[in-house]
């Protein structure tokens, strides 16, 4: 199977699973007013989840289990993939709010607070976060594994992970940052969740401590590469392909890798991180080829 086919298969698998994992308002809230409000909340959550994302994080879950040749219940793996995508989706919904990045467009579609309203967007994000954790409590895996996975996801999402990265990002709009700070910001803002996707699958697959460390090294490299490439695309990309306003980060005066390293320097860094990712996987056999190609995809993608 070509990597593109593999990617598409992973995307389809998580897209199929997400609506079921989200659930619905439920018929037990039979009175019209309460039922309507809950139905709208679930519709807005569905809208925000099913927004045509690349599903890189979900693909990392499947590809990591694949690399470990893990014998895991499909449903458990889908739950991990959906939990990660829900945390990612909630962060985008909140990130797009007027008080944050104030984005009206996400992947060519109106953002949640535009399609619905700000209050709904806040609640959609809050609810997706709760539901992500709930999913990991329902896995058909040993309780010890589930608990370690929940601990990993909570730490990666929280103020010392993704949320902390957002705070660093927002505090530094219109400011010059040095490379170390820019890297810290991205390690938390994007990297933590990418590493968590890999970590969840590794814990679900009963990977050894050494395997988990190697996979985490891979995750650190591709997480940063992902952001470097995002910054490159923000300069080189096309709005129609990106689905967001090109140069948006530049116009917000956000610090970027090309701004610090130049465009060529940023491209060289992306390539170097890709090589680090491959080195981290050197003890893995051909089962890890999807992870290797995913690293390549991250720095080659045009959107």
Positions touching a copy of itself (CB under 8 A) are 23, 25-26, 29, 31-34, 36-38, 40-42, 45, 90-91, 94, 97, 99-100, 113, 117-123, 125-127, 129-131, 133-134, 137-138, 142-144, 146-148, 150-151, 154-155, 157-161, 163-164, 166-168, 170-172, 175, 177-178, 180-181, 184-185
d(CA 210, CA 216): 10
Could you identify the residue written with the tokens 């996400």? 106
Please, are residues 52 and 14 in contact by the beta-carbon 8 Å criterion? no
- For the CB of residue 254, give the shortest distance to a copy of itself in the complex, in Å: 13
- For the CB of residue 95, give the shortest distance to a copy of itself in the complex, in Å: 9
- For the CB of residue 274, give the shortest distance to a copy of itself in the complex, in Å: 25
E strand or H helix at 285 = none
For the chain, the straight-line distance linking the first and the last C-alpha, in angstroms and rounded, comes to 23
**Helices within the chain (DSSP H only):** 3-22, 32-49, 56-67, 74-95, 112-115, 118-136, 143-157, 162-171, 179-186, 192-204, 209-236, 239-242, 248-251, 257-280, 289-300
d(CA 111, CA 96): 7
Q: Which is nearer to a copy of itself, 50 or 168 (CB)?
A: 168
Give the Cβ contact number of residue 231 at 10 Å: 25
- For the CB of residue 6, give the shortest distance to a copy of itself in the complex, in Å: 31
Q: Which is nearer to a copy of itself, 99 or 209 (CB)?
A: 99
- For the CB of residue 89, give the shortest distance to a copy of itself in the complex, in Å: 13
Q: Which is nearer to a copy of itself, 117 or 300 (CB)?
A: 117
Q: Which is nearer to a copy of itself, 3 or 29 (CB)?
A: 29
- For the CB of residue 97, give the shortest distance to a copy of itself in the complex, in Å: 7
- For the CB of residue 104, give the shortest distance to a copy of itself in the complex, in Å: 15
d(CA 162, CA 172): 16
Q: What are residue 106's DSSP bridge partners?
A: 109
DSSP string over 135-148: HHTS-SS-HHHHHH
Q: Which is nearer to a copy of itself, 3 or 133 (CB)?
A: 133
- For the CB of residue 45, give the shortest distance to a copy of itself in the complex, in Å: 7
- CA dist list (Å): 275 to 52, 222, 246, 285: 29, 10, 28, 17
3-state class (DSSP) for residue 98: coil
Q: What are residue 110's DSSP bridge partners?
A: 105
Q: Which is nearer to a copy of itself, 130 or 271 (CB)?
A: 130
Q: Which is nearer to a copy of itself, 104 or 233 (CB)?
A: 104
């Amino acid at each position: 199977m070509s990597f593109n086919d593999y990617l598409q298969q992973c995307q389809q698998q998580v897209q199929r699973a997400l609506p079921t994992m989200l659930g619905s308002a439920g018929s037990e809230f039979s009175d019209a007013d309460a039922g309507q409000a809950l139905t709208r909340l679930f519709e807005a959550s569905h809208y925000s989840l099913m927004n045509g994302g690349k599903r890189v994080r979900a693909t990392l879950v499947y590809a990591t289990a694949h690399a470990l040749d893990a014998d895991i219940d499909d449903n458990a793996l889908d739950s991990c993939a959906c939990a990660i995508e829900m945390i990612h989706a909630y962060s985008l919904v909140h990130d797009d709010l007027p008080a944050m990045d104030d984005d009206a467009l996400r992947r060519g579609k109106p953002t949640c607070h535009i399609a619905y309203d700000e209050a709904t967007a806040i609640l959609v994000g809050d609810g997706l976060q709760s539901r992500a954790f709930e999913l990991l409590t329902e896995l058909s895996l040993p309780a010890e594994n589930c608990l370690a996975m929940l601990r990993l996801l909570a730490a990666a999402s929280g103020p010392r992970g993704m949320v902390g990265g957002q705070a660093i990002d927002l505090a530094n709009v219109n400011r010059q940052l040095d490379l170390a700070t820019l890297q810290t910001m991205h390690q938390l803002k994007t990297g933590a969740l990418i590493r968590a996707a890999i970590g969840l699958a590794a814990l679900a697959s009963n990977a050894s401590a050494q395997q988990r460390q190697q996979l985490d090294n891979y995750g650190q490299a591709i997480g940063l590469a992902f952001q470097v490439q995002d910054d490159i695309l923000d300069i080189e990309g096309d709005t129609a392909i990106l689905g967001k306003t090109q140069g948006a980060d530049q116009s917000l005066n956000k610090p970027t890798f090309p701004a610090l390293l130049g465009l060529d320097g940023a491209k060289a860094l992306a390539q170097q991180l890709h090589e680090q990712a491959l080195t981290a996987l050197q003890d893995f056999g051909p089962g890890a080829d999807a992870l290797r190609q995913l690293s390549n995809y991250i720095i080659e993608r045009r959107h």
